[in-house]
Structure 1
Amino acid sequence: MIRRARAGERIVTLDGVERTLTAEMTAICDAERPTIVAGVMGSAESEVTPATTDLVLECAYFQPTRIRRTRRALGLSSESSYRFERGIDLFGMPDALRRAIEAIVAVAGGEVREALDLWPQPIHEKTIFLRPERVAQLLGMTVERRDIEQLLSAIGFVVAPKDSRLAVQVPGWRPDVTHEVDLIEETARLKGYGAFPDELRPYRPGTVPDAPIERAKERVRQAIARGGFYEARTFPLGPADGPDAVEVLNPLSAEEAHLRTRLLPGLVRRVEHNWAGRNRDIRLFEVGTVFRRGTSGVAERTAVAGVLTGARRPPHWTEGAKVPDMDIWDLKHHFELAVRLAAPACHVQPAPGGALGWVAVKRGGGGDDVAGWAGALEADAPVWAAPLFGFEVRLEVVELAPALYRALPVTPPVERDVALVLPPDVTAEAVAGVLHRTSGTLLEALDVFDEYRGPGIPADHRSVAWHLSFRDPGRTLREGEVDKILAAAMRALEDELGVRRRAG
């Protein structure tokens, strides 16, 4: 009998290893226990030996995805699993069984008994209707009807005219061909991609604007490229990356059996490829589609990801010292830029759990709706490689407000440098928020230029130095005005955050 295995059932396979089955696996059993792991390997007890006189030949079709999961769960690859994972000929099984019987009888003799057919629901070869005009529409060139018939017939499809269409019978060994577009793809492949014209069609300007998602993609591409990143295009297939990964029907290999759920793994593989070529300084980004299986089907969304490692900038021959490598703060700068462009409704905050990194969450969303992440990445790195960092953000289709321009100021700024002692749980972002709120519109610029930990600073505290620039576009500020604003800001920082001004 053929049934689902029971969780915990054991079987000693032909390689002599005892294996534990799960309820997700299919087993071929006798009256008591499993004798074959369906589609993968038989048991040692059912092995054919020189003393064997009775043989039972079984010919079956198993779902490729189920065999692939079983093979991976058991860590057992075989010639059987290799074939079943890729799908066998549904309609060729009787012929295969007859040929095996003929070979056994011719070599060893014996008596053949009647076959037992346990196929639950007989099925028939699938017929797909192909429209020649649809072929021309999708391929951009006309392919003659007789050429389509010859091309498809050459690889086993049975083609017959049906009104203005072609009725194409799909052979059993091509389970990947399920729709008309699959036949069009086969036509293009057999015709040869070199047969397609390579000239561009005449340019026709139109009044229809680009779709909002395309404008958002282009905006992000240009901004990240200005930061010194090269755009990459990675393969959208890869190994399973979580329980919601989408499995493809006819994968070329187990490592390319699922649609990607993130962009970062593909970029990390590109970094490793660059390292193999002795390239140390790498900045790559990608704007692409990722896929996840949801309750209502497969969900597609666009994401933006980047990776960076190596020197902060190219060296110059006049410099004697080595250019420092990029660190976590370079990552934060590029991550904030990506979030500002791709997800403007989000803000960046430290990653939960004490990990060194950041997440992008919706403003006012309570931190549950995470739209992006940035942090250190693990990779197969050589000993001379610098640390690798990466970020990924969900792209939101948001139209940015038009840029506003104003005249250059004609009044001078009043500048101050302030060193503040921050408790361990206070971030620089929180301090900046208080300074902006208490200083109003007169605070034109606010920048961190130093951080210090050590003697003179309480344990677990740090000193952060800020450069503040005040300016009124309509008049010249007086020193006393700025001193009053700064004093009020210092009082608010001490009352709200426990931040005080550093002495000395």
Structure 2
Amino acid sequence: MLVPVEWLREFVDVDLAPEALANLLTMAGLEVDEIAVLENEPVFSTYVTPNRPDLLSVVGTAREVSALLNTEFRPPSPKFLEGKSRTADLAKITIESPVNCPRYSARVITNVKVGPSPSWIQKRLIQGGLRPINNIVDATNYVLLELGQPLHAFDYDLIANHHIIVRQARAGEKITTIDGEERLLDEAMLVIADAERPVAIAGVMGGLETEVSAKTKNVLLESAHFNPVSIRRTSKKLGMNTEASYRFERYVDPALTTYALDRVAQLTAEWAGGEICAGIIDVCPGKFATHTIELRPERANLLLGVEIPSDQMADYLSRLGLEVKHGKTLTVTIPTFRPDLRREADLIEEVGRLHGYDAIPEKLPEGETIQGSDSPQGAFASQVSEILISCGLQEVLTHTLSAQLPHEGDMVTLKNFISEDLSRLRKHLIPNLLSVIGYNASRGIRDIGVFEIGRVFEPHDDDTITERLSIAASITGSLWENTWNIDRDSSIADFFTAKGMVETLFDRLVGREPSFKQAEIAGFHPKRAAEIYIDDAKVGIIGEVSAEISEHFDLPDRTYAFELDFDELMSRQRGAEAYKPLSKFPAVTRDLAVVVSEEIEYQRVKELLVEGAGDLLERLWLFDVYKGPPLAPGHKNLAFRIVFRSADRTLRDEEIDGRITRMKELLAREVAASFRET
């Protein structure tokens, strides 16, 4: 916001130099970024935070200065004579969309003479960042800068039937705005229309067909309050950022509409002559009631760390334009121009600002403290990160929002999204990781392994949403650096690389192996994907990314991914392990070649082997898979190495033979297995 210092002085007495005044405002929360010299006078460039729309005007800034300096605040007081004609007899206002336009006010001024505005007005407009146009338009822009209320002047005679209708645009409607651009409208956009067509995009820009020109004799002045969400949506969709939309998007005081009309009517009459028709048409289907907040002085002093008497607190708040009633607490009535004041803490902040943050003494905290620690979720997430990093992956953080993805089904859609690419809450982490891989691959990086721990959102048919933490990883290429003695092709990641990472996680965190059951999963290769289970509960998915998804994300070669339910994994986290001494007795190793149908999954064979081996089993792993002669067609040979050990004795061959026999009998009975000599 550009604030000419001399204009500011019209509403408040300031004896400070511009530099001192800028420092005062900055220390109170209204940051002055720069003091420029425009038209040979100092002009403040202020940074106004989104929660303080009242400071987007010279008068609002003057109110702040008045409160800080405890000097008189003199807002403009419009005075003018009205003619015999009545505005209500000359125009009609209809609001068809009260949610997006809770208030619309209008005045008519007849017999104006359009021409240039006074030179001092043109100077102030330039200082405020606006271009002088003519005395009618300049009057509306002057009041916009002065009061913060956007206004618009229509050529009254070009409004069909002199009837203003505030409504939603109709599909396919078009309007040529005053910048000469034709705009295509849709039903989500609010427009100001007459009886025939749209004449302005509400809160953004007026239409070319009804703008004030040198031929204009009569004007209809508009001053309205619009829904900030509606204006922001329209502004972003059309790519239009105007002084009006900038303010309406942040909230404009609804009580300003008639006051601003009176002010612009006064200036129009002074600069362009004409007759101000009696009265204002003020259509206000919405209600803008003030509210009260109870402020406890002792609570304010506790939070601020300084003793301020309650009478002084009341004085500070009164200077800001708030009404204060004394009692055991201070009952503060919040005016409509301060939408940021919603709770007691907000008032305490105002007291602190006016008291001066630099006046609050430095004091070390006192009292008992406890040692801080991470939350259980945070500690578990750190463990997961360490394990996956040790597996050769890099951690990434991606956006919670995404576009609708073809394989994701229903996703949670935002009501007021900024762009289609950020319109949904992510349902899984894997798509985001694939985007990371695609982005890096397009820049020549072939070997990528990434993971993320983050929140995902699952919609349900009853309109509820489940939010949960998820763990996901994706790999492509090799996780080993190229060296002279290792062929890159021999170290390319595959399904079993990803599977090994999952097994490492479970081994380190749960202490038990998960099971993998082949399944058809959307987004994965139909034959190279599996669901991950433990204790008969599904805890995740794993697989090779399908060709369709690889093409969508522009992935290199084959890419693999897995995703696990964070809470399911955490709920099975093993506790602290008791120390177990290493066995003093030797191990016995046996190899077993199992021939089964190709339809029998490895996981099932392994489960039966473990069951048959009993408590003497120390370790078991698959070291070879063979298909072909002399095996019968449709069969495979799985070669296992099995290690037995006892903690209290040396095992005898008879014991081990008995366990092997039991394992074979179990396999033969359950999966019709046969056995080959190893």
- TM-score class, shorter-chain normalisation, is 0.5 to 0.7
Match of 1:488 in 2: 665
1:222-301 mapped onto 2 (5 Å cutoff) = 222-228=383-389, 244=412, 264=429, 283=450, 285-286=452-453, 301=467
Deviates more, 1:220-229 or 1:44-53: 44-53
1:7 Cα offset (Å): 9.2
Counterpart of 1:415 in 2: which secondary structure? strand
CA positional deviation for 1:96: 3.9
1:467 aligns with 2:467: no
Residues 360 and 469 of structure 1, relative CA distance in 2, 3 Å threshold: closer
Alignment partners' CA distance in 1, 2:495 and 2:194? 60
Give the corresponding residue for 2:344: 180
Contact 2:608-2:667 within 8 A present in 1 as well? no
Deviation at 1:483, TM superposition (A): 4.5
- Which range moves more in the overlay, 268-277 or 446-455? 268-277
Q: Is the 8 A contact 1:159 1:166 kept in 2?
A: no
Partner of 2:51: none
1:13 aligned partner: 175
Give the alignment of 1:425-436 within 5 angstroms: 427-436=601-610
- Whether 1:63 and 2:231 are equivalent positions in the alignment is no
Mapped partners of 2:402, 2:318: distance in 1: 34
Within-5 A mapping of 1:55-134: 55-70=219-234, 74=237, 76-79=239-242, 80-102=244-266, 104-113=268-277, 114-134=279-299
Contact 2:620 2:643 survives alignment (8 Å): no
Change beyond 3 A, Cα 1:488–1:296: closer
Match of 1:30 among 194, 207, 230: 194
Identity across matched positions, percent: 21
Q: Distance in 2 between matches of 1:246 and 1:491?
A: 56
Measured against aligned partners, the alpha-carbon deviations of 1:178-203 in whole angstroms (never above 9, x if no partner) come to 333455677889949x9987989765
CA distance in 1, matches of 2:316, 2:675: 80
- 80-89 vs 461-470, greater mean Cα deviation: 461-470
Counterpart for residue 2 of structure 1: 95
CA distance in 1, matches of 2:308, 2:453: 41
Q: Please, what TM-score do these two structures have when normalized by structure 1?
A: 0.65
Q: Deviations over 1:360-386 (max 9, x none)?
A: 679767x7xxx6566769899999999
8 Å contact kept, 1:263–1:305? no
Decide whether the 8 Å contact of 2:290 with 2:333 is kept in 1. yes
Match of 1:447 in 2: 621
Structure 1 CA distance for aligned equivalents of residues 333 and 195 of structure 2: 41
SS in structure 2 of the partner of residue 445 of structure 1? strand
Q: What is the CA RMSD across the aligned residues, in angstroms?
A: 6.0
What CA deviation, in whole Å up to 9, does each residue of 1:389-438 have, x standing for no partner? 57463425747564565554435233326476774x76544443444445
Q: Secondary structure at the match of 1:120?
A: coil
Q: Give the 3-state SS of the residue equivalent to 1:487 in structure 2.
A: helix
Amino acid at match of 2:96: R
Aligned to 1:416: 591
SS of residue paired to 1:89: coil
State the partner residue of 1:355. Answer: 524
CA distance in 2, matches of 1:198, 1:293: 48
- Looking at structure 1, the residues matched to 414 and 206 of structure 2 have their Cα atoms a distance apart, in angstroms, of 30
Moved more, 377-386 or 444-453: 377-386
Moved more, 407-416 or 348-357: 348-357
User: 2:428, 2:524 → 1: CA distance?
Assistant: 21
Q: 295, 305, 323: which one pairs with 1:142?
A: 305
- Tell me if structure 2 keeps the 8 A contact 1:29–1:35: yes
Shift of 1:118: 1.5
- Residues 247, 259 of structure 1: 8 Å contact kept: no
Cα distance change of structure 1 residues 313 and 51 upon mapping to structure 2, 3 Å threshold: same
Letter in 2 for 1:481: G
Gaps of 5+ in 2: 1-93, 98-166, 405-409
**CA distance, structure 2, for counterparts of residue 453 and residue 196 of structure 1:** 79
Shift of 1:135: 5.3
Of stretches 377-386 and 259-268 in structure 1, the one that deviates more from structure 2 is: 377-386
Shift of 1:12: 0.5
Distance 1:2 1:89, change over 3 A: same
Q: Tell me: CA distance 1:133–1:51, structure 2 relative to 1, closer, same or farther (3 Å).
A: same
Q: Report if the CA contact (8 A) 1:306-1:392 is conserved.
A: yes
> SS of 1:128's equivalent?
strand
- Counterpart of 1:395 (choices 546, 567, 587) is 567
Counterpart of 2:175, as a letter, is T
Q: Secondary structure at the match of 1:13?
A: strand
The answer to whether 1:219 aligns with 2:380 is: yes
**In structure 1, what is the Cα distance between the partners aligned to 2:396 and 2:533?**
27
C-alpha distance in structure 2 between counterparts of 1:143 and 1:314, whole Å: 61
Alignment of 1:303 onto 2:469: yes
Bigger RCO of structures 1 and 2 (CA < 8 A, at least 6 apart): 2
Contact 1:236 1:260 in 2 (8 A): no
Code of the residue aligned with 1:413 in structure 2: it is V
Q: C-alpha deviations, 1:298-324, integer Å up to 9, x for none?
A: 978551435565887675989665594
Normalization by structure 2: what TM-score? 0.51
SS in 2 for 1:58: strand
Shift of 1:214: 3.2
Task: Sort the Cα spacing of 1:246 and 1:315 in 2 relative to 1 into closer, same or farther, 3 A.
Answer: same
- Mind listing any 5+ residue stretches in structure 1 that lack a counterpart? none
- Partner of 1:432, secondary structure, is helix
Distance 1:151 1:338 in 2: 62
Cα gap change, 1:228 to 1:9, in 2 (>3 Å): closer
Could you say if the C-alpha distance between residues 234 and 428 of structure 1 is closer, same or farther in structure 2, counting changes exceeding 3 Å? same
Name the amino acid aligned to 1:303: L
* 2-structure distance, mates of 1:157, 1:237: 41
TM-superposed deviation, 1:218: 1.7
Residues 360, 326 of structure 1: alpha-carbon distance in 2 compared, 3 angstrom cutoff: same
Change beyond 3 A, Cα 1:336–1:154: farther
Are the aligned partners of 2:426 and 2:457 in contact in 1 as well (CA < 8 Å)? yes
